[in-house]
Homo-oligomer: A and B are copies of this chain.
Amino acid sequence: MVTETKTDRRILRTKEAINKAFLELFTEKELEQITINDISERANVNRGTIYLHYTDKYDLLDKCIEDHLSNMFVACSVSIDFNRDKIDLIDELTSVFDYFEANFLFFSAMISTQRTSVFRERMLQIVVANLNEKLDQRDIHRSMNKELIVQFTASAFVGTTEWWIRNHMPHSPQYMAEQLWKLFEKHDVYAR
C-alpha cells in the first residue's frame, strides 16, 4: 500500500525556496557562516517558517542531501523493466550522470567541504540499497557473494562519480555511463 497523501502546495513551495536559497549560500560561504537569517532573506520566507520544517541548519543540510539523493534515485529508476538488456542499463547510468550534471552546483558544493564524509556515506547507502533491490529483481547471484558484489560496485561507482565531480565533469554523462559499464562488465558483475 502506497501512502497517498498530497502535501500542501504551500509546504512544497516553501521547502523548495529554502532548499534553493540554502544551496546558493552553500556555494558562496562555509556552512558555519550561513545564518538562518541569510536563508530566510534569500528564500523570501519568514524566519520562523524555517523552524517549522527544520530544527537547525545541520538538519536542513541533511534533509537537503536526502532530498537530492532520493531525487537522483527516482530520476534513474524510471525505466525499470524486467527484460532489459545492456543498452537499457547504459541508458539508466547515463540518466544518473545527467542528473549529476544538471545539479552540478549542489554536488560540487557537497563534495568540496569538510562535511564530505556525511554526504559520501549517505550516497553509498543509497546506491547500496538500490543495487540490492536490482540484484534481487534479476536473479543472477551465480556463484558470487551478493553482499560483496554490491559493496564492490557501489564503492566503485561512488568513488568514480566523486572523482568526476571534483574534476568538474571532464567527460559527458553518456561517456561516463559507457566507460563505467565496460568496467563493470569486465568484472562480470551484471553480465548475462
Q: What is the interface of chain A, defined by CB distance below 8 A to chain B?
A: 9, 12-13, 44-46
> What's the nearest-Cβ distance from chain B to residue A45, in Å?
8
Residue of B nearest to A13 (CB): B44
Q: How far is the CA of A46 from the CA of B45 in the complex (A)?
A: 18
Q: List 5 A-B contacts (CB under 8 A).
A: A9-B44, A9-B45, A9-B46, A12-B44, A13-B44
> What's the nearest-Cβ distance from chain B to residue A46, in Å?
7
> What's the nearest-Cβ distance from chain B to residue A52, in Å?
14
In the complex, what residues of B have CB within 8 A of residue A9's CB? 44-46
Residue of B nearest to A12 (CB): B44
Q: How far is the CA of A13 from the CA of B13 in the complex (A)?
A: 11
In the complex, what residues of B have CB within 8 A of residue A45's CB? 9
Q: How far is the CA of A8 from the CA of B168 in the complex (A)?
A: 42
Q: How far is the CA of A44 from the CA of B44 in the complex (A)?
A: 16
Q: How far is the CA of A46 from the CA of B13 in the complex (A)?
A: 12
> What's the nearest-Cβ distance from chain B to residue A81, in Å?
31
Q: How far is the CA of A120 from the CA of B12 in the complex (A)?
A: 39
Q: How far is the CA of A149 from the CA of B164 in the complex (A)?
A: 64
> What's the nearest-Cβ distance from chain B to residue A97, in Å?
29
Closest 5 CB pairs of A and B: A13-B44, A9-B44, A9-B46, A9-B45, A12-B44
Q: How far is the CA of A44 from the CA of B86 in the complex (A)?
A: 39
> What's the nearest-Cβ distance from chain B to residue A131, in Å?
35
Residue of B nearest to A46 (CB): B9
Q: How far is the CA of A44 from the CA of B46 in the complex (A)?
A: 19
Residue of B nearest to A45 (CB): B9
Q: How far is the CA of A13 from the CA of B43 in the complex (A)?
A: 10
Q: How far is the CA of A158 from the CA of B9 in the complex (A)?
A: 42
Q: How far is the CA of A126 from the CA of B136 in the complex (A)?
A: 69
> What's the nearest-Cβ distance from chain B to residue A99, in Å?
22
